Structure 1
Amino acid sequence: MRGIILKILILAAGIGSRLSPITETRAKPMIYIAGKPALEWVINNLKESKADISDIIIVVGYKKNQIIEYFGNGFDFGVKISYIEQEKPRVENAILAAKNSLKDEESFLIVHADIFSDPEMITRCIQTHKDTNSDATVSVTLVDNPHLYGVASIDSDAKITRLVEKPKDVESNYAVSGVYLFRSKIFDILEKTKFLDQAIQEIINNGGNVYASVWEKEWVEITYPWDILRANRFILSRGLFKDGSYVDNTTKISSIAKVEGPVYIGKNVLIRPGAVVQGPCVIQDNSVIGTNALVREYSTIGKNVVVGFGDEIKNSIIFDNTSIGRLSYIGDSVIGKNVEFGAGAQTWNITHKNKPIKMKIKEKDIEIPRRKFGAIIGDNAFIGINVSIFPGKLIGCNSIISAGANVEENVDSNILMKLDHRVIFKKLKGE
């Protein structure tokens, strides 16, 4: 897409409180998906969209130093990056924080830092803006649960006639998908209306043209913990293996281990005898896959991870420096950094009779839109031997679960969950 030179505004300041405990210790855009921070995948998408990108401005806030230290000036990633700090919450204030940097631009592109899609979604939005010469262009996609998003009503010419954020009465199934193209006049309108959906509606009401760029393919927005696994699967299914498998030449794979399907295996990985690795999956540097362990499809194993003897890892993400004890099962789960997962411990990922799995998030029970889902475990947690973690449970950072416990409810951070066994001695009657 040549002809429009754009500055890009990436919104990366949010806390991501619904993703706790994973976001207790990291910025939301720094959640690792398929071995890279979510924000890095967004930047890669922008580069692959064939747009003429001049500069990227990243709006930072919560745990901003993690983002700034990783991406720097963008040179290592083939782009030019600068940063603006957001001082007040809400997406509108993130956009307004960039006013001085973008007010003289004819148009600029906004992308959320937690959106996963094909690069074509961005390309199509830019092309729509160019073809229609619109005052604003909004990427939208059909969803089954539009009440969770900004919802756009569009006419037969793909003009947006109404846009409402998370409406109670839904008039359309077209959800805003996190990519916008605005002219610089949006800043003055936004300062007056205070809300982005109202600012867009104001443009429409005043006779301006706001067009929808309709995206009919898959996309993922990381809002809830299970979306982390959706994003991981999305990348492993599409973006990671364009050039086939990669196994670093320093990796050692036993002659009686088996590696199947597309894989990315980093430096100094050791895959022991009898282990089976089923791609698509990622195993990062210096990790060990133990004897007779099974790493199944759509799993990402971080750096310096030990997967013990006879373990099974299924459709899960395990962050760096975590150790999984022997004969454990981790299914459909996200395990944080520096976690000790004891021998024989299990994440249950399915309920009796396939009843819906619910997760308590911010004191509200939310039904997970998946038949199988395990646990979310924060950084530095200690899970004792033979612990059973029920489906949809959260275990906070630095918490300790004692051996043999059944985790049937969420455990906050910095909690010791200890069984209080009573031992009873009873004299047996003689024959």
Structure 2
Amino acid sequence: MQINSIILAAGLGKRMKSKLYKMLHPVCGKPMVGHVLDLLEKIETKRKVAIVGNGADEIKAYLGDRAEYAFQAEQLGTGHAVLQAKPLLENEQGVTIVICGDTPLVREETLREMIRLHQESGAAATILTAEMENPHGYGRITRDEQGLVTGIIEQKDCNESQQLIKEINAGTYLFDNHKLFKALDRVTNHNAQNEYYLTDVIGIMKADGDRVIGYCTPDPSEAAGINDRIGLAEAEKLMRDRILRKHMINGVTIQDPAQTYIEPDVEIGQDTVLLPGTVLKGKTVIGEDCIIGPYSEIIDSTIEHGGTVKQSVLQEATVGEHSHVGPFAYLRPGARLGRDVKVGDFVEIKNSTLGDNTKVSHLSYVGDAKVGKDVNIGCGAITVNYDGYKKHLTEVEDGAFIGSNVNLIAPVKIGKGAYVVAGSTITHPVEEGDLAIARERQTNKPGYAQLLRNRIKARNSKKD
């Protein structure tokens, strides 16, 4: 069965009170409409049409060619919005999902179950519903003795008995594609709002003798649409709790879920431990048996099996197996650590590779460098990679020793097994096995310390 989809993404979202278009407000690091499109891609919908209006350029810039677009020049109701997709979809076969771009909490398993029920029942429409203890503000679902949906009654139209109904319309639908557009042509705007309602399609289908069913989700949060900053915060918490629960079920220890933030595309292996304050973003991949945190932020990075990251920040970096980062290290884009590497406190690595068993233990900067295996880089050593116009490469081959407070002025190469003594400023290549010394010869002046103090004291007295 072919599956098509329509994403309703044309609303202005005035209640967000924001310069950012509503559908682009992030939930767990990803714009809400992005979550919806991800969902539709997971169930392999053939055609995905986004109905855009306000903020159309921003929506298109974000979604790109992942969707087709239909423009709703005037917001005349949900039925009118769906009708804009008719030129693109009216001749397609199968079913069409209609879903709002501000409902990021709808789950893949829910849509799959709706599709299964829709196929088995031969329904013209399947409505996602939910039961709520406080259904105020939502359209109520009415059913007949066989459990088939007979209608959707909006809150303002409910009588006293209908207001007691707890099953509500969650705003996601499956339709027989041909019947959807046939019914939409008959929807009118004869109502108080002078709008064309998608829910009127249900009544038209019932009048035609078509079957309409409802699938009541066990998770009422899937019905939540985000209309303001309060709803945004609530959705953020609900999604974050889902993500954390998924990882814990899959074998990840999260010591304090209330202080742990994980975005939806993050992958984590079994027996990894996340300590309080851990923040994992983007396409980050954490292997098995890792220890992350406390208070580490990792963005679009890979930590291989057995890695440790303590109180550090990583962005677009790779940490090899059993390597140790931190505390208080910063791995910037392009940092690539091999196996059993140590990057210690207050070390910054940028656009550099460090070979297996290499150590940069403290207070150093390595940028635009290629560092081999078994290299020791001492405290305060830096690669001087920028001349004010261009970045240059530093190469340090296997087994070299870089002493404390060494400056390597790029472009420069330190050969295999070479030794650079502390305090040196290296401007020329050091060949394999050589010892490099590049510092002023020390001069001691006996008794001069007190003489210098006296001169300084006298000079300061004259200024006073």
**TM-score where L is the length of structure 1:** 0.53
1:52 to 1:16, Cα distance in 2 relative to 1, 3 A: same
Per the TM alignment, residue 264 of structure 1 is displaced from its structure 2 partner at its CA by: 0.8
Q: What SS does the corresponding residue of 1:18 show, helix, strand or coil?
A: helix
- 1:209 is matched with 211
Bigger-Rg structure (1/2): 2
Match of 1:44 among 38, 42, 50: 38
1:56 aligns with 2:56: no
Deviation at 1:262, TM superposition (A): 5.9
One-letter amino acid of the counterpart of residue 34, structure 1? C
Is 1:88 aligned with 2:74? yes
1:104 to 88, 91, 98: 91
Aligned counterpart, 1:126: 115
Q: Which residue of 1 aligns with 2:183?
A: 189
Check whether the contact 1:122–1:179 (CA below 8 A) recurs between aligned residues: no
Counterparts of 1:18 and 1:153, CA distance in 2 = 30
Q: Identify the match of residue 260 of structure 1 among 263, 276, 279.
A: 276
Matching residue's letter, 1:101? L
Distance 1:266 1:225 in 2: 23
CA distance in 2, matches of 1:44, 1:214: 22
Q: Which residue of 1 aligns with 2:137?
A: 148
Q: How far apart are 1:123 and its partner, in Å?
A: 1.1
Q: Measure how far apart 1:5 and its partner are.
A: 1.9
* 1:168 paired to 2:158: yes
Measure how far apart 1:216 and its partner are: 1.5
Q: Which amino acid aligns with 1:6?
A: I
Unpaired stretches in structure 1, ≥5 consecutive residues: 75-80, 248-257, 268-274, 286-431
Q: Partner of 1:221: helix, strand, or coil?
A: coil
Contact 2:140 2:153 in 1 (8 A): yes
Does the Cα contact within 8 Å between 1:112 and 1:179 map onto a contact in 2?
Answer: yes
- Secondary structure at 2:234's aligned position in 1? helix
Which residue identity does 1:264 align to in structure 2? L
Amino acid at match of 1:99: K
**CA distance in structure 2 between the aligned counterparts of 1:171 and 1:197, rounded to whole angstroms:** 20
| Distance in 2 separating the partners of 1:228 and 1:110 | 22
Tell whether the 8 Å contact from 1:27 to 1:64 is kept in structure 2 after alignment: no
TM-score (norm 2): 0.50
Once the 2 structures are TM-superposed, how far is the Cα of residue 14 of structure 1 from its aligned partner? Answer: 0.6
From 6, 10, 32, give the equivalent of 1:9: 6
Offset of residue 200 of structure 1: 0.8
Q: 1:60 to 1:265 in 2, by over 3 A?
A: closer
Q: Flag the 1:233–1:100 CA change in 2: closer, same or farther, 3 A.
A: same
Aligned match for 2:64, one of 44, 47, 72: 72
Deviation string 1:243-293 (CA, Å, 9 cap, x unpaired) is 76879xxxxxxxxxx9417631579xxxxxxx9749xxx8768xxxxxxxx
% of aligned pairs identical? 24
Counterparts in 2 of 1:65 and 1:198: CA distance versus 1, 3 Å:
same
Shift of 1:215: 0.7
Change (3 A) 1:65 1:134: same
Structure 1 SS opposite 2:45: strand
Distance 2:240 2:295 in 1: 14
Equivalents in 2 of 1:246, 1:163: separation in Å? 37
Amino acid at match of 2:205: I
Contact 1:147 1:168 (C-alpha < 8 Å) held by counterparts: no
Task: List runs of 5+ in structure 2 lacking aligned partners.
Answer: 189-196, 253-260, 264-273, 284-292, 301-464
Residues 225, 157 of structure 1: CA spacing in aligned structure 2 closer, same or farther, 3 A cutoff? farther
CA gap of 1:209–1:225, structure 2 versus 1, over 3 A, is same
CA contact (8 A) 2:277 2:294 kept: no
Structure 1 residues 28 and 284: alpha-carbon distance in aligned structure 2, compared to 1, 3 A threshold = farther
